Amino acid sequence: MRSAITISLIPEAHGAPFVFRDDLAAGCERAAALGFDAVEVFPRSAQELDVQQLKNLLAQHRLQLAAVGTGAGWMVHQLRLTDADTETRQCAQEFAAAIVEVAGGLGAPAIIGSMQGRWEGGVTRDQALGWLAEALEELAPHAQNHRVPLLLEPLNRYETNLLNNVADSLDLLRKLRAQNVKLLCDLFHMNLEEANIADALRLAGPKLGHLHFADSNRRAFGFGHTDLAPVVQALRDIGYAGCVSGEVLPLPDSETAAKQTIASFKRWFG
Ligand SMILES: [Mn+2]
């Protein structure tokens, strides 16, 4: 397993669970200095990400790119793949596709989390799930061209009413022709939504593609009360060998959250 830490380049995302913020060079420098294997980057858009700078920083610090988030599509641009408006759905699709391409070019998967949107107003749950499935079918082959998966993240009920748990997300994946869509399981969301986190990870099994490593209160692992022992056992049982990425609140500050994340990673996965 590889350790990773999050870097947000979205000025509008202050208050969101990203450890390092606004400065890619400084974030990569701290990630490498603390011993992380990889960084997970959240750009404002594909076009606003300086790909050459990122490449140079990864090489300079011998870091891997764990994943690239699409959350700015929703947070900044209010784009959702399941919006009632056809044109907005198309814009969302283009926004996400551009990030899939940029990430894939760097050998990393893109994450579809908050861009899944929600069903509301005149849109039914089945309609929204159908639009999401269509979007994933369009995006996944672009990721496949780069030989990377596309990551779909179930979120807790306060962030979406569409995909909240592993079982419902697997139901959607089973209906897809694309085989490279994998689940991003976030321990913070799972703590709110799953009856048993370890059982849910076992259910995900080979479809687990990425892990967000956050404690019960979305702080760095060890700063909350989730019992990690059964979670680690479940990950071992399913042979998970992907990223364990600290997507947590920068509390009490970025440096302390990052240090706590790598210490917990080493303790539990080292
Ligand atoms: Mn997450």
In tens, the pLDDT along 17-54 reads 999 999 999 999 999 999 999 999 999 999 999 999 99
In terms of Cβ atoms closer than 10 Å to its own Cβ (0-12, 13-18, 19+), residue 266 is exposed
Q: CA–CA separation, 67 vs 201, rounded Å? A: 20
Q: Give residue 139's domain range.
A: 2-269
Q: CA–CA separation, 61 vs 18, rounded Å? A: 20
Q: Which of 40, 193, 194, 247 is catalytic?
A: 247
Q: What is the mean pLDDT of residues 79-95?
A: 98
Task: Using the predicted structure, report yes or no on whether residue 14 has a pLDDT greater than 90.
Answer: no
Would you call 48 a catalytic residue per the annotation?
no
Task: Using the predicted structure, report yes or no on whether residue 15 has a pLDDT greater than 90.
Answer: no
CA of residue 69 to ligand 1 center, whole Å: 9
pLDDT at 213: 98
CB 44 within 8 A of CB 9: yes
Q: Which of 40, 153, 193, 194 is catalytic?
A: 153
Q: CA–CA separation, 6 vs 31, rounded Å? A: 9
Q: How many domains does the chain have?
A: 1
Token pair, residue 23, equals 């400065």
Task: Using the predicted structure, report yes or no on whether residue 259 has a pLDDT greater than 90.
Answer: yes
pLDDT at 44: 98
pLDDT band at 270 (very low <50, low <70, confident <90, very high): confident
Q: What is the mean pLDDT of residues 77-89?
A: 97
CATH code for the domain in which residue 37 is found: 3.20.20.150
CB 24 within 8 A of CB 9: yes
pLDDT at 84: 97
CA of residue 62 to ligand 1 center, whole Å: 24
Would you call 247 a catalytic residue per the annotation?
yes
Q: How far is CA 144 from CA 52, 60, 108, in A?
A: 22, 27, 11
Q: CA–CA separation, 203 vs 208, rounded Å? A: 9
